[in-house]
Copies of this chain bind each other. A is one copy, B any other.
Amino acid sequence: MFQSRDQILKAYQDYLACLNARDWESLPRFVAEDVTRNGVRLGLSGYRALLEGDVRAIPDLAFLPSHLACDPPLLAARLVFDCTPVGGLFGLPVNGRRVRFTENVFYEYRAGRIAQVWSVIDQAAIEAQL
């Protein structure tokens, strides 16, 4: 399957819309069955469980990129979160406070789907806001 820059950018925007709609049934359109994250093979079910856990912890979580760099088969995104976690987050007692933090993340696309993810989340920024 051909993966041009425009096709990957479109697939990624559709993936973010899927997450923002909590449309977990559509996730297999965007994420490969054997997806890995930071070198750990989560598989699609583990990846979905991770996202569902994020949304339970942060009901108002919205995935919004401030920067995108697409260089097939890679896409890198900077995501800016401005949200209100209900309890703990990354082991930190956020407890309903509004926090802003970022994630810089690389995705490798294969056959039109996300096959590998390498993410760094700015947990230190959250700590600094508590």
Contact = CB atoms under 8 A, between A and B. Distances in A.
Contacts of A106: 67, 69, 76, 78, 104
Instruction: Give the number of times this chain occurs in the complex, counting copies.
Output: 2
Contacts of A70: 69, 71
Categorize the interface residue count of chain A: 20 to 34
Contacts of A75: 69
Interface of A: 5, 66-71, 74-76, 78, 90, 102-106, 118-124
24 contacts: A5-B71, A66-B118, A67-B74, A68-B71, A68-B74, A69-B69, A69-B70, A69-B71, A69-B75, A69-B76, A70-B71, A71-B71, A76-B104, A76-B106, A78-B106, A78-B118, A102-B120, A103-B120, A104-B105, A104-B118, A104-B119, A120-B121, A121-B124, A124-B124
